[in-house]
Chain A
Amino acid sequence: MVETKFSDNVLTAKLYGEIDHHKAPAIRQKIDGQTENLRPKELHLDFSGVSFMDSSGIGLIMGRYRQVSLIGGKLKVINVPKNLQKIISLSGIDSLGVLK
């Protein structure tokens, strides 16, 4: 579901499989735990392994944006597959400047 890696003050969370309301809480918990402990300058959410996502994934991105902003860090959403771009663009999160 999620694998994390920390180097050069960047915490990268690589997400796998399907993200929905059932799966999101465990992913959130793991990323928030690591963010709190490591206090990274940047949090990268890597979506390359995500095959499906509903609006729970948008909630997950918005929530991590808030969490990492609270500790003065920045969020980057990377490697968004083509099939997720429709929901990402509908959500308006590109206006946060986090999409890379």
Chain B
Amino acid sequence: MNIVNEMNLNFKSRSSNESFARATVSAFVLCLDPTIAELSDIKTAVSEAVTNCIVHAYPDTIGTIYINVKITDSNKIIIKIRDTGIGIKNIKQAMEPLFTTSSDERAGLGFAVMQSFMDNIKVRSKENKGTTVTMEKTLYRTSYDKR
């Protein structure tokens, strides 16, 4: 598996950046000629992961969110979304549908959406160090021009 394209993005954990993050990632993967449904899946998963950073990783501060996107020669998109926030105490519990620690009107579906809209997802977290969410999705209809 070779990486044929890659981009890095970092920005402040302000909620106004949620649309910027998902639009930028979807613009980057457009070169793979995704279907509208695939693009919508990717945008939604990125929006969920970035919102988690804003709401949960940096609850009382503004931190930095780091996004790395790689495209492989087998048309796989690997999206890594990282924060250096408070971390997740219990990843298994956090990934249960409808579980939320937020008092705000959150549905508790963030990880369920990421799992269902992407091919797979890995979560690594350390308390007071931060969290990294890695999501992958392979596009099948594509013929990527590597130039």
Q: Which of A21-41 contact B (CB under 8 A)?
A: 21-22, 24, 28
A63 to B102, CA, bound (A): 14
Q: Which of B1-48 contact A (CB under 8 A)?
A: 15-16, 18-19, 22, 36-37, 40-41, 43-44, 47-48
Chain A interface, DSSP helix/strand/loop, else mixed: helix
A100 within 8 A of B: no
Report how many residues on chain B are interfacial, defined by Cβ distance under 8 Å: 25
Contact of B15 with A83 in the complex, beta carbons under 8 Å = no
Task: Choose from A60, A62, A87 the contact partner of B44 (Cβ within 8 Å).
Answer: A87
Contacts of B44 in A (CB 8 A): 52-54, 87
**Residue of B with least CB distance to A17:** B19
A96 within 8 A of B: no
Contact of A28 with B105 in the complex, beta carbons under 8 Å = yes
* B95: min CB distance to chain A, Å: 13
* Segment at the A interface, from B68-76, B110-118, B126-134: B110-118
Contact of A54 with B36 in the complex, beta carbons under 8 Å = no
Contact of A55 with B15 in the complex, beta carbons under 8 Å = no
Task: Choose from B19, B40, B107 the contact partner of A55 (Cβ within 8 Å).
Answer: B107
Contact of B51 with A90 in the complex, beta carbons under 8 Å = no
Report how many residues on chain A are interfacial, defined by Cβ distance under 8 Å: 21
* A15: min CB distance to chain B, Å: 15
Contact of B105 with A24 in the complex, beta carbons under 8 Å = yes
B94 within 8 A of A: no
Contact of A54 with B48 in the complex, beta carbons under 8 Å = yes
A42 to B107, CA, bound (A): 23
Mark B residues whose CB is within 8 Å of A.
15-16, 18-19, 22, 36-37, 40-41, 43-44, 47-48, 51, 54-55, 105-107, 109-110, 112-113, 116-117
Mark A residues whose CB is within 8 Å of B.
18, 20-22, 24, 28, 52-56, 58-60, 62-63, 83, 86-87, 90-91
